[in-house]
Structure 1
Amino acid sequence: MGNLNQSSLQGGEGFHGQGLIEVVWGRRKNGHFRPREKRNRVFATLERNRCGSLQDRPPSLKVLLLNARSVNGKTAVIQDLILDEGADLACITETWLDEQGGVNLTQLCPPGFGVHQQARAGGRGGGVAVIARQSIALIRCAVPQSSRFECVFLKVGARDSLGILLVYRPPRDPAVSLSELAEVVSNSALVSQQLIVLGDFNIHAETSLTGAAQDFMVAMTTMGLTQVISGPTHQAGHTLDLVFIVDGGTVRVEEQNILPLSWSDHHLICLSFAMSSNLRRGGGPIKMVRPRRLMDPDGLLRSLGDLPVLETGDPVDVLADRYNSELTRALDTIAPERPLSLRRVMSTPWFTEELAVMKRARRGLECIWRKSRDVSDQARAKAAIKAYSVALRAARKAFTTARIASAANRPSELFRVVGELLRPPETQGLPDDLATRCSDFAHHFAGKVAQIRHELDSSLIVVPAEVTEAPVCPILWDSFRLVLPDDVEGILGSVRATTCALDPCPSWLVKQAKEGLLDWFVAIINASLGQGSFPSCFKQAVVKPLLKKTSLDPSVCNNYRPISNLPFLGKVLERVVATQLQEFLDDTDFLDRSQSGFRPGHSTETALVALVDDLRRELDRGSVTLLVLLDISAAFDTIDHGILLGRLSRMGLGGTVLQWLQSFLEGRSQMVKLGDTCSDPWPLTCGVPQGSILSPMLFNIYMKPLGEVIRSFGGCCHLYADDTQIHYSFPPDSKEAPRVLNQCLAAVADWMRRNKLRINPDKTEALLVSCSSDRGIGWQPVLDGVALPLKSQVRSLGVLLDSALTLEAQVSAVAGRAFAQLKLVRQLRPYLVKSDLTTVVHALVTSRLDYCNALYVGLPLKTAQKLQLVQRSAARLITGASYRERSTPLFKELHWLPFIFRSQFKVQTIIYKALNGLGPAYLRDRISYHKPARPLRSSGEALLSPLPISQARLVGTRERAFSAVAPRLWNSLPIEIRQAPTLLAFRKDLKTWLFRCAFGE
């Protein structure tokens, strides 16, 4: 660091704007190592001297601007710096992070802070990040991104009163990049009248500017923005980091410090902005909470005392209300509510007294160096800084390692800690007026459903016959089977402990105190089943808006998805009914055989296996197949209650069963909740409740006739809840295919309208599956008057299907996502022991390779190697092996099956389930036991009949179609494995056998 004299601090001749602040060199003495009493006393004295009193002090915003030159290895120092300076926002350029950020981005954030970052789109280096207090109202807004610079635009303040644009522009190509950057600034200025633009612009502002740099500065002045940095920001004496504010605006710089950093060639810029409005910092109560440490099951039961006996004959609403009131009273006794306030976090949990001593020594040496500017003092200061940084990183690593070690043998706690390390906290952007925001969400969610129903009603001419026709099936089920305490206890163990804001007591506490509450549960459940009535207090839902994508504008209600939460005891009651309803559906075989959603033994994978098998078989026959993936808008929310009850009646339900289901559907309401503020509840006159256990089963019943409509035109379908996949096969030269298919699609659209479901043609996708010579058909399918363009690939239930069924796009996408997760996990390796690291790899990486890997059987070696490479990298990460080591010994050590054998394991498991009644019937129909014409020794070996050669002419069919692959793989198994008595025994023996096949043992 060169010597700096007073003249060098006054700014060069390149500064001609107004509003320059005299630079003050030196660090403010408000570090978090100072004793709290002394720090607060000094702070209060300074504030009284400056503003008269703390209460009269205008609101301010403390901002740090620094170029990190890569945050890797510097996260502990940067986090310590943010706390040391008492910053509200830390704007960091040149982070050198990728889009996911991972552990390094998370560790930048002190407790109580969140982060927004923008990584460089291509190549290494670059990137910007804003670390902000979570108590500040802050919303990220989308801005056009360029390959020539990175930027983040944030609206700050309770009323979006201030905009902050952080920029990093590398030195190359100034003419184009500065012109594009000026456009971004002008767009941001239109969004926020008060604007701060800051960052590393790589403009030598200390000199007389020329060319593109001069044009950029003139453009900024034209937009009313003034540059306020008045000293060098680089160790070479250059002024590269700039800050622009609105000239004459309400936001002004009241303090500016520029401090050299030993670990970067750029200086730290500390700014304090005087604000005209409050930014919601501080510690008012934000919500009422109950201390968890005071809530224990024994105390709850003692507080309840001798519970009154509930009579099943009492109205169920009375019983449920009494349950809620008694539990609320007991909880108020043992753990009364108290306000939770935001506290200004000034320290980190790993900051020890030893670190505080080192920090004081370091600060003292820094002060000596800045005063003397002596080389020996500089060397001592740098040595102290380095030693402190090493100790700080070691302390944080030890703390993180201890946290993970404490979560050993507790997977849920382990993933919670890992999630905190991998996912950086987000800043809170709740508006000041929560009541208005809740009301806006409520009107939006209710209005969306009302608009869809209005459009459907206005387009429907004929009244659906299904609503008025008489039942055609005798009553088969008219009363529920009452439950016993053991039944309820088993259900409590299977229901997740999710707590709703309407619950009188946390669900985890209810489950722990179930021995004393079982009689109440049994009485309420049996009263509800016997009276055919669902308790009214369980019919209200609490909706939490969830942003669909982090890149969307959070101020727009349409960018949110409503997440509904229901009372816990209501879900237990639903599970009782769902169990008995499933038994009835299994006995009557009422549901459409192609429906895979929310059915035991069915999954997205079984649906896709059947779909791809159909498509490959049709290719083998020389047919062309058109696959149409329907998109239904808000399917669960627009179901008509009358139509649904009519279908329930015609399937044989009556008596208290039908009465209970009608009570379950009707009289419902929901409200939006943000923080402790709720909207007014609004009634739900249609739809099945979101987040309910019964709703998916009722939706499957509602959709049952759709399959019959499609098959009446010779088409086929596969359904997973509201995901409907229609495929129609025809000869390439067929003249009738366009007419029949469009008639089928028109009938589907008409059925949807009659059943109050709205198809979205703009989001419906179509794919033509055919041989390469038959890719063009010369016409487009038409759905509801809209021509559907044929795509080269579509995503069906999370899997990319292409027109030739090569699955190359799917494999590439899976490999890319898996490698991205592997890079994140690699950052965790210093903190995890081998067993925990293996668990995390299985959850984040292997699970992606295993999803629908039954479709990967028979993949060409060139394609399969992409996924095999991911598995090898994961094995090397866990074992610590180098890339030169062979992967086979590593797989043996980890007892992993290679990727190809994992896909075979999945297919053979599906076969076993299908043959033993544990899987879907549509897969069982594709395979059959071999029946020889005369008695043979192999007759009792449970062999499957292979697909005839005439039906498997193509290699893709022989090697990859389920109908052809399943018999070959199954028949290759030893007889003792094929005849395994249970699924668990089959899977265990199968893995052992495949392991021997893979490694020649």
Structure 2
Amino acid sequence: MTPNSFKTRVLLQDLTHHERSKLLVVSINARSLINKINYLKSIMIITKPSVVLITETWCKPTILDDTINIDNYTLFRTDRQNTSGGGTIIYTRSDLKACRFNNEQLDDTGDSTWVSIAIGHQKYLLVGCIYRPPNVDSIYDKNLSTLFFLASQQPHVSKLIGGDFNLPNIDWISPHTSQRFSKLIEMIEFSGWIQQVQIPTRGNNTLDLLFTINFNPTSVNVSSEFHNSDHKVVISTFNYQPTNNLNPNGLKKYKYRRYTNETWKHIEALIRCIRWDSYLTTGNIDTAISVFYSNLISCLDCIAPYVERVSDINSARSHIPKCLRRKLRHLRLRYYKHHDITALYNVFKIVENLDSAQLKYLLNMETTALNSINPISSMIKLFKSRLDSKSNKPPTLFITKDGIDDDPASISEQFSSYFSSCCSTEPGATANPISMMTSKCLSTVEFTSTNIKRAIATLKKSNDNGPDGIPASLMKYSGKDLPFLCLKLFNLSMDKGHYPAIWKTSFITPRFKSGSRNVIENYRPINTTSVLSRIMEKVIHKQLSSFLLSENLINPSQHGFMEKRSCATCHLKFFDYITLGRDKGFSTIVLYFDFSKAFDCVPHNLLLSKLHSHGIRNPLLSWFKSFLTGRRQIVRISSSYSKPVNVSREVVQGSVVGPLLFLPFINDVCQQFVHGKIFLFADDLKVAYLFPPTTNENTITKIIQKEIDDLSEWTKIWHLPLNVHKSGYISTGRRWNLSLHLCEVQIKPLSVVQDLGLRYTDSINFSEHVAFQASKARKSTGFIRKNFLDLHSKILLYTKCVRPILDYGCLHYSNCRRLDLMKIERIQRTFTKSLLGDYSTQTYRQRCDKLKLEPLWLRRLKLNLTLMYRLISGATYASTSQPILYTSTHNLRNKENTITIQRCRTQLRQSFITVRYATL
């Protein structure tokens, strides 16, 4: 079909013969949208429908949103993840207030997209686009009938579902159908849905359907077939009350500082010109803070004064140049006046030329990033900007107990109320006295210009103003004098044991966790704190962690938030213990516990008691008390801010020193386990038990249950609740059927464990991990290949964004099957072949050499040998059960670097890294 074909003329006439005040909904079966996107753009530019539902898009996650975006429309898409075909899209015109409606139950049907649209004051329409594949089984239809029922129960005033359902031989006027579809039809009618399409849409069957509740159409028309599709287009119109979803005047004024590359060139000279006499001579911390901030703000006012900007927030942002937008308006007017089909042809040509210009623009962006001062950072930033629309940004509509809320100010307040309600009551002191863990103490922190300079150097360049109005870039580019000025402020703060009040306010950004994105409870708070506070905390963090480690105050099982410790060291120590136990003939049982909102529920008075028992004394202890108490938080969503709310409990996760303070608080949880070996990464807890296979099951249950009860009692004393539903256990060697309970809830056995990003089964098999990482890497490589044009860009992004995915957990790949290792290697094999052409006659090793890439097997070998060296030299923290170095008393040459070769009974132990690599 060409833009000037007869069917196109019919489609255009049907789309334009309706009242402009009505809501125009168009349902299309596309059968590969990417090949017809320019045709669809041309049709929509001319006719401007309100909502477009598209099924069988055949889009994959690797296809960029920009490729199928249409100017003046908002895109909502759902793609099939692992198979081809299917896929749904909803386009909503930008003058409609719409957002994706996320619901776990509704999203269970893979080929469906759900959107909420405001159709009046506090009135919302739920729009669903569904594709039901042909020849599906009865289970699929049962799930589909459940979906219709669930959709009818949503809090929206009106509902609309459209799409291709592939339900042939049904008379929807008086539904008589076979037993095959009877239950589905009954549930649709029971839920109150009315099917509005009565004319066949493909052959003699009505396959493209439109269901509504409390939203009756004024007209329903079946037009001609869409471009190269055998399904006809369904066009329907509805009465609705337009909503002025933004500022009634369409204008929003706000002030901001305009930072450029030239902004920071003169900041050092400005700081030197300001008189600092009153600041340097005062001994009052509040006066020093006032003068310090007053001087820095005056510098910012000189180099980047506030600029008032007026934004027309009612107009949608267009990516089409102004001259072409004017020409498109003229062509659209020409068609409406004269029904000139050549107008569509000219629009089609403009859209095609825009695609060519877009490709040149994208290539130029890649070239600019590669030629920048920091090409790696620039390319990664570009990579993230081109990712699909799945982001952590909250939607504009939220479901609350009072219904649906779309007011940004109200949503910010509800987020603030929810975050502050998490364990909001400060409990009294514990009844149990806390014993001193050391006779030594740390009472203060030494600040020098050198360690302050190092802390500033670690800051990332950012022009975003913090809660105190100071961006990180100011601190980073202020020259040599600022560290000396900070030295005065930090010493005053520490000597007085006083944390300045201006630093106690944090911006909170909601970050999505899981579940429905429209439910406030499915978000966690991310803190943004003052940059000056973070600099001071970096110095404190280093000296505090050094003290805790030098005095052995942190349990060796803890691997979080400390130097030389990481997820990798926790995994290494854990699997060393498990494999050694299995080699000695023991059966193993591993318990996994999950603390519920651990960092948000730490009582400050109990934490300060723990710090005192770990040797922290005044004025540092007073500084920590001031740091923790009197804090306020403000939830920030786009340009909306909530009112400040006081926080009585929480270890601030956005701070530098906050997570480190959590370690002494949870440290004595290790004392609750006598028989079990504990492994900790911050609040992630697992406990391993070794038992002879002949041990009585009741005996094992009693031993483990006793320690679980002790853990439960400890959590009550220290007000750190466990999430019982996320706890579980695995058993290896012998499958134990244990009846274990946590808080009167039975702990379930697990077949697959996700432990700090590593997936493995109860037989310590990593095939699940390999499959997951390979799938994730495959999607990323596909995205890079399809959305980046320059060869060097693709290689750089592969090495920085894809290869780390394949490297994660590679120290355990020696225990993987050859088939799994080939699956990992195949990712790079396919990628190198795609870069050099599928018909390249070069071998894999030759392709790697040409592209300057190492084969993944060689890279793993080097990484694991490096780890062995770090273990031997003490450069990493991972004490193993067996000594790595040979300790013979014989006078051998180079005996200090001789590695012990362990004798193993099992293949599981033989494959462990310290055993296997000792024989290389």
With the length of structure 1 as denominator, give the TM-score of the two structures.
0.79
2:289 to 294, 314, 320: 320
Q: Which residue of 2 aligns with 1:977?
A: none
Give the C-alpha shift of residue 254 in structure 1.
Answer: 8.8
Question: What secondary structure does 1:449 align onto?
Answer: coil
Q: For 2:190 and 2:748, locate their aligned partners in 1 and report how far apart those are by CA, in whole Å.
A: 47
Q: Does 2:739 correspond to 1:787?
A: no
Q: For 2:36 and 2:358, locate their aligned partners in 1 and report how far apart those are by CA, in whole Å.
A: 12
Give the C-alpha shift of residue 86 in structure 1.
Answer: 4.1
Q: Does 2:13 correspond to 1:25?
A: yes
In structure 1, the gaps of 5 or more residues are 10-22, 30-45, 51-56, 372-377, 970-1001
Q: Does 2:87 correspond to 1:127?
A: yes
> Could you tell me which amino acid in structure 2 is paired with residue 824 of structure 1?
F
In structure 2, the gaps of 5 or more residues are 398-404
Q: Which residue of 2 aligns with 1:855?
A: 812
Question: What secondary structure does 1:937 align onto?
Answer: coil
Higher mean displacement: 848-857 or 238-247:
238-247
2:915 to 955, 958, 964: 964
| Structure-2 change in CA distance of 1:346 and 1:812 (3 Å) | closer
Match runs of 1:274-293 below 5 Å = 274-276=239-241, 278=243, 280=245, 283-285=250-252, 288-293=255-260
Give the C-alpha shift of residue 853 in structure 1.
Answer: 0.6
Q: Which residue of 2 aligns with 1:992?
A: none
Give the C-alpha shift of residue 574 in structure 1.
Answer: 0.7
Q: For 1:413 and 1:180, locate their aligned partners in 2 and report how far apart those are by CA, in whole Å.
A: 45
Contact 1:625–1:729 (Cα < 8 Å) also in 2? yes
The CA deviation string for residues 68-121 of structure 1, in whole angstroms up to 9 with x for no partner, is 2212233454445545544554322210124xx232444222467543323357
Question: What secondary structure does 2:509 align onto?
Answer: strand
Q: For 1:219 and 1:783, locate their aligned partners in 2 and report how far apart those are by CA, in whole Å.
A: 40
Question: What secondary structure does 2:443 align onto?
Answer: coil
Q: Does 2:707 correspond to 1:724?
A: no
> Could you tell me which amino acid in structure 1 is paired with residue 419 of structure 2?
F
Contact 2:30–2:227 (Cα < 8 Å) also in 1? no
| Structure-2 change in CA distance of 1:695 and 1:819 (3 Å) | same
Give the C-alpha shift of residue 723 in structure 1.
Answer: 0.6
| Structure-2 change in CA distance of 1:450 and 1:365 (3 Å) | closer
Match runs of 1:419-438 below 5 Å = 419-424=384-389, 428-430=395-397, 431-438=405-412
Match runs of 1:164-563 below 5 Å = 164-170=127-133, 172=135, 184-191=147-154, 192-201=156-165, 211-212=176-177, 241-243=208-210, 245=212, 253=218, 262=227, 264=229, 273-276=238-241, 278=243, 280=245, 283-285=250-252, 288-293=255-260, 296-298=263-265, 306-309=274-277, 310-311=279-280, 313-332=282-301, 334-342=305-313, 344-345=315-316, 347-349=318-320, 390-408=352-370, 409=372, 410-424=375-389, 428-430=395-397, 431-450=405-424, 463-466=431-434, 471=436, 473-484=438-449, 486-497=450-461, 499=464, 501-515=466-480, 517-549=482-514, 552-563=515-526
Q: For 1:743 and 1:193, locate their aligned partners in 2 and report how far apart those are by CA, in whole Å.
A: 53
Q: Does 2:664 correspond to 1:697?
A: no
Q: For 2:804 and 2:417, locate their aligned partners in 1 and report how far apart those are by CA, in whole Å.
A: 39
Q: Which residue of 1 aligns with 2:906?
A: 954
| Structure-2 change in CA distance of 1:529 and 1:966 (3 Å) | farther
Give the C-alpha shift of residue 742 in structure 1.
Answer: 2.2
Give the C-alpha shift of residue 203 in structure 1.
Answer: 6.9
Contact 1:25–1:258 (Cα < 8 Å) also in 2? no
Give the C-alpha shift of residue 687 in structure 1.
Answer: 2.8
Contact 1:325–1:504 (Cα < 8 Å) also in 2? no
Give the C-alpha shift of residue 685 in structure 1.
Answer: 2.4
1:103 to 63, 69, 78: 63
Q: For 1:779 and 1:840, locate their aligned partners in 2 and report how far apart those are by CA, in whole Å.
A: 48
> Could you tell me which amino acid in structure 1 is paired with residue 890 of structure 2?
R
The CA deviation string for residues 376-425 of structure 1, in whole angstroms up to 9 with x for no partner, is xx9x9998787666544322222221222221142333223222333137
Question: What secondary structure does 2:63 align onto?
Answer: helix
Q: Percent identity?
A: 20
Question: What secondary structure does 2:858 align onto?
Answer: helix
Question: What secondary structure does 2:422 align onto?
Answer: helix
Contact 2:62–2:780 (Cα < 8 Å) also in 1? no
| Structure-2 change in CA distance of 1:78 and 1:520 (3 Å) | farther
Higher mean displacement: 805-814 or 677-686:
677-686
Question: What secondary structure does 2:384 align onto?
Answer: helix
Question: What secondary structure does 2:423 align onto?
Answer: helix
| Structure-2 change in CA distance of 1:275 and 1:349 (3 Å) | same
Q: Which residue of 1 aligns with 2:844?
A: 887
> Could you tell me which amino acid in structure 2 is paired with residue 937 of structure 1?
R
Q: Does 2:675 correspond to 1:714?
A: yes
Give the C-alpha shift of residue 751 in structure 1.
Answer: 2.2
| Structure-2 change in CA distance of 1:240 and 1:880 (3 Å) | same
Match runs of 1:678-827 below 5 Å = 678-710=641-673, 713-735=674-696, 736-770=699-733, 774-775=734-735, 777-827=736-786
| Structure-2 change in CA distance of 1:730 and 1:261 (3 Å) | closer
Q: Which residue of 2 aligns with 1:874?
A: 831
| Structure-2 change in CA distance of 1:881 and 1:187 (3 Å) | closer
> Could you tell me which amino acid in structure 2 is paired with residue 900 of structure 1?
W
Contact 1:96–1:124 (Cα < 8 Å) also in 2? yes
Give the C-alpha shift of residue 449 in structure 1.
Answer: 1.5
Q: Does 2:53 correspond to 1:91?
A: yes
Give the C-alpha shift of residue 607 in structure 1.
Answer: 0.9
* Structure label with greater radius of gyration: 1
Q: For 2:602 and 2:792, locate their aligned partners in 1 and report how far apart those are by CA, in whole Å.
A: 48
Higher mean displacement: 865-874 or 214-223:
214-223
| Structure-2 change in CA distance of 1:111 and 1:590 (3 Å) | farther
The CA deviation string for residues 528-582 of structure 1, in whole angstroms up to 9 with x for no partner, is 1232221111112221222223xx3334221111112111111111112112223
> Could you tell me which amino acid in structure 2 is paired with residue 92 of structure 1?
I
Q: For 1:600 and 1:146, locate their aligned partners in 2 and report how far apart those are by CA, in whole Å.
A: 42
Question: What secondary structure does 1:857 align onto?
Answer: helix
> Could you tell me which amino acid in structure 2 is paired with residue 130 of structure 1?
I
Contact 1:765–1:789 (Cα < 8 Å) also in 2? yes
Question: What secondary structure does 1:336 align onto?
Answer: strand
The CA deviation string for residues 867-887 of structure 1, in whole angstroms up to 9 with x for no partner, is 122232233234334487531
Higher mean displacement: 221-230 or 86-95:
221-230
Q: For 1:531 and 1:744, locate their aligned partners in 2 and report how far apart those are by CA, in whole Å.
A: 44
Contact 1:635–1:758 (Cα < 8 Å) also in 2? yes
Give the C-alpha shift of residue 933 in structure 1.
Answer: 3.6
Higher mean displacement: 781-790 or 624-633:
781-790
Q: For 2:486 and 2:795, locate their aligned partners in 1 and report how far apart those are by CA, in whole Å.
A: 41
Contact 1:849–1:867 (Cα < 8 Å) also in 2? yes
| Structure-2 change in CA distance of 1:223 and 1:938 (3 Å) | closer
With the length of structure 2 as denominator, give the TM-score of the two structures.
0.85
Q: For 1:183 and 1:748, locate their aligned partners in 2 and report how far apart those are by CA, in whole Å.
A: 41
Higher mean displacement: 908-917 or 199-208:
199-208
| Structure-2 change in CA distance of 1:221 and 1:955 (3 Å) | closer
> Could you tell me which amino acid in structure 1 is paired with residue 384 of structure 2?
G
CA RMSD of the aligned region, Å? 4.2
Contact 1:288–1:676 (Cα < 8 Å) also in 2? no
Contact 1:637–1:687 (Cα < 8 Å) also in 2? yes
Q: Which residue of 1 aligns with 2:113?
A: 152
> Could you tell me which amino acid in structure 1 is paired with residue 313 of structure 2?
L
Give the C-alpha shift of residue 629 in structure 1.
Answer: 1.2
The CA deviation string for residues 289-326 of structure 1, in whole angstroms up to 9 with x for no partner, is 43344981256678776243322643323322333344
Contact 1:575–1:693 (Cα < 8 Å) also in 2? yes
Q: For 2:470 and 2:885, locate their aligned partners in 1 and report how far apart those are by CA, in whole Å.
A: 54
Q: For 1:805 and 1:619, locate their aligned partners in 2 and report how far apart those are by CA, in whole Å.
A: 11
> Could you tell me which amino acid in structure 2 is paired with residue 721 of structure 1?
A
